[in-house]
Amino acid sequence: MKKNHMAGMAGSRMTLRWALCAARCLSVILILLLYMGSTVFAGPPYDVIHPFALTLRGNQVYRGSWTGWAYAAATGVLDPGPFNTVNGNSAFGPNAGGNGSVDTGPQNANPAWSESTAAYSAAVNGTGWVESKGWGALNAPSGGTWVYADSQSTLRLNRGTASRNGNVRWSPSWTTITAGTSHVGDPIDIGFLNLDDNTYQTSRLFDLEVNLNGPGTSTDENGNITISGRDGSFSLVMDSPYITSGIGTITLSFSGGLVTESDATGIYAGLLPGVGSGSDAISFHIGDGQGNVDIDFDYGPDNVNGFDADATFANSGSWSEVPEPSTLTLLGIGAVGLLAYDWRRRMAKA
């Protein structure tokens, strides 16, 4: 009788233990199921737009050509995903401006998708803009594994001129927000073909790059530049020997949430935070009150037959997202592991 009573108590304790273990497992499963229904990332677009105004001595009548390129891709656990690359080009003569765009269309790999575009608009008076942008969304818990968008817009203006001096106004604007990587590029090149001897003279008057590696944001609105991220860089180079207005450079790098390189020269001296400063809220201003950067240039004296001038305005942007291990998921995995260990320990004692 005593043995039967003890066996019954042991059986009740084992049943209780199994019930507790099952309850713990059910709680973990419910938490994970709740998490699986959430969206880890829904990405706003990167958008890089570059308005410009080019002035050379003489009549302001330009012809031009444009090339655009865009790429987008997305993948999921159960869907290798689509991708698309599109290219476009157009040209306009001296009597009319031009505009155009290319777009990849949405590339869907449920539950991830991306899209990108490149566009331009130009007038015969030397004004216009180029733009690159892309966007997408990634639901990692539901199986999204990767999204990527990349685009570039390049406009070239051309005209004859009696001189090699003038002015270009650059009025940039960009926004990029990422949990993966992003890139912004925005150069300006101006060159002159000497019609006396067919020699060609060119120089990059302005170059800007922003790179984020990991979660972060970067914006330029009316010249107010803000950068936030753990790892990345910003560079600006405006030091061509043909620039007759102010010149200067900016070199900024940050890693692990701290500024590791900070150097600003010329008209940009004193703008940057020092090495060792936090990189979660970097801000500074470039250009005039509206963010316009005016660059005066002079490539040399006049000649007999004049020059064939060309200016290239190009910008580019890219953006990618990949899922990162969630703290909640790791906790869930850890809890399951502890429950498994507890079950094995209890089984060994039984």
Model pLDDT, residue 17: 52
* 333 and 294 in a common domain: no
Q: Is residue 134 domain-shared with residue 259, that is, in the same domain?
A: yes
284 and 334, same domain (yes or no): no
Between CA 62 and CA 157 the distance in angstroms is 6
Q: Does residue 81 share a domain with residue 25? A: no
Q: Give yes or no: residues 122 and 18 share one domain.
A: no
Asked whether residue 84 falls in the same domain as residue 160, the answer is yes
61 and 142 in a common domain = yes
What is the pTM assigned to this prediction?
0.80
- Please give the pLDDT value at position 32: 39
What residues contact residue 313 under an 8 Å CB cut-off, 6+ apart?
Answer: 50, 52, 128, 130, 154, 155, 156, 157, 188
210, two tokens: 């922003």
- Ranges of residues in the chain whose predicted pLDDT is under 70: 1-44, 58-60, 141-142, 323-350
Q: Using one digit for the tens of pLDDT, what is the confidence trace for 50-97?
A: 999 999 876 667 899 999 999 999 888 777 788 899 999 999 888 788
Q: What's residue 305's pLDDT?
A: 94
The pLDDT of residue 84 is 93
- The number of folded domains in the chain is 2
Looking at the structure, tell me whether residues 99 and 15 fall in a common domain.
no
Dihedral sign of CA atoms 264, 269, 272, 274 in order: positive
Directed axis angle between helix 2-36 and helix 327-349, to 10°? 170
Q: Which long-range contacts (CB under 8 A, 24 or more apart) does 78-83 make?
A: 78/143, 79/109, 79/110, 79/143, 80/109, 81/107, 81/109, 81/112, 81/146, 82/107, 82/108, 82/109, 83/107
Q: Compute the distance between CA of residue 200 and CA of residue 162 in angstroms, rounded to an integer.
A: 15
pLDDT at position 347 is: 54
Residues 294 and 343 reside in one and the same domain: no
Q: How far apart are CA 204 and CA 295, in angstroms?
A: 12
In terms of residue numbers, what domain contains 23?
2-35+329-349
Residues 129 and 18 both lie in one domain: no
321 and 343 in a common domain: no
- Cα dist from 256 to 47, 103, 276, 308, whole Å: 26, 36, 10, 49
Task: Please indicate, yes or no, whether residues 117 and 28 belong to a single structural domain of this protein.
Answer: no
